[in-house]
Structure 1
Amino acid sequence: MSCIGHWVNNEAFPGASGNTAPVTNPATGEVTREVALADVRDARVVIDAAAAALPAWRDTSLAKRTAIMFRFRELLNQHKDELAGIITSEHGKVLSDALGEVTRGQEVVEFACGIPHLLKGGFSENASTEVDVLSVRQPVGVVGIIAPFNFPAMVPMWFFPIAIAAGNTVVLKPSEKDPSAALWLSELWAQAGLPAGVFNVLQGDKTAVDELLCHRAVKAISFVGSTPIAQYVYATGTANGKRVQALGGAKNHAVVLPDADLDLAADAMVNAGFGSAGERCMAISAVVAVGDIADELVLKIAERAKSIKIGDGTRGCDMGPLVTAAHRNRVASYIDQAEQDGAAVVFDGRQVSPDGSEDGFWLGPTVIDRVSTDMSCYTDEIFGPVLSVLRVESYDEALELINSNPYGNGTAIFTNDGGAARRFHNEVEVGMVGINVPIPVPMAYYSFGGWKNSLFGDTHAHGTEGVHFFTRGKVVTSRWLNPSHGGINLGFPQTS
């Protein structure tokens, strides 16, 4: 069985640890390949290569860096169907969803193609007499990117295009559950002409992560994953002197007001709750029905859930399997517990007839009504196709419910009342807000990130905040003396 290795200096690197983990096709349950798990020695080989490549890449002109970025963008556009197929084979999401993931990641590549404008500094002539002041932004150095399993292409592309365009070198640590997309992207960078050592891939588990967090050559860490791990990454990275942006978990609510178009809202809840089998940090997992619309709304959602075709992502189905058998069973356990807690399972995905192998990791769309805030199906981030419905009497109660939640990643409101919508986006304590839009992921020229326990660190992903994260500001004050200068003066410099 073939083994997926690391990528160093534009070449495959098998590593020396000998440790591996299985890579599984979730639609069949079949172990298709193995992935290398780095030990400390392997990790240091990869990180040292990035550090060695940094000086030359940092000093490469903006024009040359941008030209490579444009070539990478064109190659990605030409071959994105191939990448989508790789994602489906290891993650399980349907091909259309995988292609959408690649396309959203490509938006950040296109944003990074404008890096010359984004890195422009400022200049003040004669800030003081014959003294000029200028500001520049310079790369931070070697950047570590620790990516989750749910978006093996898009999430890395939130970070590495900007990091590379700004003059940094990168070590990407993909999830060991779906590691092949990272190697595919590595080969594409080499085809685009990226110099050896600028983009590297380190396969592995906690050992690889810890080396990135502690190695003195790594200056910045970008992470996306669950909140407990995000807290660990942030605490460990910052304790070792690194700049860290750690995007954590979520419990995303959608408020449906009585005046909303319930058909539109029901469509949106199904799309946002069950797309990618609910394995999205921006998935709507909690529907907050306001007033007397709950019965009708739940009925409409359940009717739509029944129409979703579950199966192998290569067969034109609507929703694929979950990523592993263990994760599938974990998600199902939340449905079991909700029943025991007294919630009503209106549509049950535990028993499903998929269009695919019986050994796949299947769990169908599930709608749970009459959920209370103390139930585990509400308090925990399930990360599966489970939609919980909470009933409240008023807008104020809905707002309080959301603002009391420890997460603040994404939220949405469905209403035809402009005043209510404006009040909601002003008052809700969440980083990304949708108005009649269920998944408010911003375009690449805005920045992605939540509030509260959904983000550790001060900087969001991509957009201008991403540029600032991967660069450091420097201010230069200069005076070019003329022959008639006044000679030695040991007094404190004064602006005049």
Structure 2
Amino acid sequence: MTRITHWIDGRPWSGTSARTAPVHDPATGAMTAEVDLADLTVVDQAVESATAAASAWRRASLTQRSRVLFAFRHLLAEHAEEVAAAITAEHGKVLSDALGEVTRGLEVVEFACGLGHLLKGGHSEGVSTGVDVHSVRQALGVVAVISPFNVPAMVPLWFVPVAIAAGNAVVLKPSEKDPSASLVMARLWKEAGLPDGVLTVLHGDKEAVDGLLTHPGVSAVSFVGSTPIARYVYETGTAHGKRVQALGGAKNHMLVLPDADLDLVADAAVNAGFGSAGERCMAISALVAVGDVADRLVPRIVERMSALRTGDGRRGCDMGPLVTAQHRDKVAGYVAAGVEAGADLVVDGRLVEPDGDPNGFWLGPTLFDKVEPEMSIYTDEIFGPVLSIVRVDSFDEGLALINANPYGNGTAIFTHDGGAARRFETEVEVGMVGINVPIPVPMAYYSFGGWKSSLFGDSHAHGAEGFHFFTRGKVVTTRWPDPSHGGVDLGFPTHS
């Protein structure tokens, strides 16, 4: 049985773990490895290593840091297929989707390569007689990144390159369900010239997470996961004096107006609803159809769903399995609950015949129509390949439905009406908005994050906000008196 262990001080950990967790191939159901789970002693060791490295790394010149970032960018592009293969083997998403995840992560690395510009401060000359003021942004020290199972490369790449570029040392805690991609990237960071200890990969479960959230040596925490855990991470981390950004769950809506191109909508709904088996925080799970749109749209969606091939992601299939048997059963339970609640089950993914091992964690694309807002398949984040159609009578009713939802991560509108699109953009209470774009994930130089229960904390991921999150500002006021200056003045200092 393959052993997957921590990456500490620039090399695989040499200790012995008292606890491990199984790692499965979701397409076969087979257990392929055991991953070591860190206890508090190992958490201390990881933070101690990062602390020792942070002191020197924060003093490294911007030129030195830039060279490491550029070298890592080159190596990651060169080894993208290796990272993607690790993702598919442990998460189950098809290889093309895994490679797309790495590509989107590369965009953040490229953005972080501009650290010299992004870390510039300001300077004001002569704010008072002979007095100048300038500002600087300085690293925090040791920061933690806690990453989810659904994007084991992209989410670490949202945070780690920015934190390292800003001069911090990073302890990355990936999901124990698919830990190997993080180790491939750690090796590439080392090859790029990153000093040992600046990046640590710490595997673990709640014990490791709690250890990082409460450790006095950790200054900040970035987290992506479900809303209940995001709330817990934010409250626990801030209670222990840490800066925290915790990105939570989502219930993303696609509002479709009667004038929309329904063939474009059907393509978008299938792509955004069933890509990565619906295990995306930006997946469209609720299609809000205005007027008679649903009657005209459902046959188009069903036609496209019938052409999808569910199976092993290494066989050129369109959609892979879910990440674990437990998660597959949970999603299948939502399908049963939707039927019991009275929704119209148009396509039942439980009946899928996969192109893969029958022991894989399979659930095919599923479509519900005539879903009501009180049903659990609407209210809950299912995080699986289940698309629900909610019928409304008007634009206003659809907008109100979206704004009433406790989540505010991503949304989209499909229409040819520029006025309706502009009003939607202005009035919808959601952090990321697409207009005729179903998955509005921002480019790296903008920031990623939602509103309401989809984000805890004030900072979004990557972009300028990412660099601000991983640094703190300092303002320096300077006066160099000329040789003729002298005298004592006990009065209150004023600008003159």
Partner of 2:469: 469
Q: C-alpha separation between the residues in 2 aligned to 1:38 and 1:48?
A: 14
Shift of 1:293: 1.6
Partner of 1:198: 198
SS of the residue 2:292 aligns to = helix
Q: Does 1:287 align with 2:287?
A: yes
Alignment of 1:231-246 (within 5 A): 231-246=231-246
Does the Cα contact within 8 Å between 1:16 and 1:42 map onto a contact in 2?
no
TM-score by length of 1: 0.99
Q: What amino acid maps onto 2:220 in structure 1?
A: A
Partner of 2:163: 163
Q: C-alpha separation between the residues in 2 aligned to 1:360 and 1:350?
A: 13
Q: Does 1:218 align with 2:218?
A: yes
Does the Cα contact within 8 Å between 1:6 and 1:15 map onto a contact in 2?
no
Deviation readout 1:176-204 (Å, 9 max, x if unpaired): 00000111111101100100110001000
Moved over 3 A (4+): 14-17
Partner of 2:460: 460
Q: What amino acid maps onto 1:471 in structure 2?
A: T
Q: Does 1:250 align with 2:267?
A: no
Identity over the aligned pairs, expressed in percent? 69
Shift of 1:17: 3.2
Does the Cα contact within 8 Å between 1:87 and 1:181 map onto a contact in 2?
yes
Q: C-alpha separation between the residues in 1 aligned to 2:112 and 2:422?
A: 32
Partner of 1:18: 18
Deviation readout 1:62-118 (Å, 9 max, x if unpaired): 000000100000001111011111100000000000000000000000000000000
Q: C-alpha separation between the residues in 1 aligned to 2:15 and 2:102?
A: 28
Partner of 1:119: 119
SS of the residue 1:255 aligns to = strand
Q: Does 1:185 align with 2:189?
A: no
Cα pair distance change 1:27/1:264, threshold 3 Å:
same
Shift of 1:486: 2.7
Alignment of 1:364-443 (within 5 A): 364-443=364-443
Partner of 1:173: 173
Does the Cα contact within 8 Å between 1:371 and 1:388 map onto a contact in 2?
yes
SS of the residue 2:190 aligns to = helix
Q: C-alpha separation between the residues in 2 aligned to 1:10 and 1:477?
A: 40
Does the Cα contact within 8 Å between 1:212 and 1:218 map onto a contact in 2?
yes
Partner of 1:93: 93
Partner of 1:318: 318
Alignment of 1:335-346 (within 5 A): 335-346=335-346
Q: What amino acid maps onto 2:302 in structure 1?
A: A
Does the Cα contact within 8 Å between 1:15 and 1:38 map onto a contact in 2?
no
Q: C-alpha separation between the residues in 2 aligned to 1:308 and 1:350?
A: 14
Deviation readout 1:131-156 (Å, 9 max, x if unpaired): 00000000111110000000000000
Q: C-alpha separation between the residues in 2 aligned to 1:372 and 1:25?
A: 36
Does the Cα contact within 8 Å between 1:138 and 1:166 map onto a contact in 2?
yes
Shift of 1:481: 1.2
Shift of 1:14: 4.2
Q: Does 1:297 align with 2:297?
A: yes
Partner of 2:56: 56
Q: C-alpha separation between the residues in 1 aligned to 2:45 and 2:189?
A: 20
Partner of 2:495: 495
Partner of 2:9: 9
Q: What amino acid maps onto 1:324 in structure 2?
A: T
Shift of 1:302: 1.3
Shift of 1:294: 1.1
TM-score by length of 2: 0.99
Q: C-alpha separation between the residues in 1 aligned to 2:490 and 2:134?
A: 25
Q: C-alpha separation between the residues in 1 aligned to 2:445 and 2:377?
A: 35
Does the Cα contact within 8 Å between 1:40 and 1:207 map onto a contact in 2?
yes
Shift of 1:44: 0.7
Shift of 1:228: 0.2
Q: What amino acid maps onto 1:262 in structure 2?
A: L
Partner of 1:267: 267
Shift of 1:48: 0.8
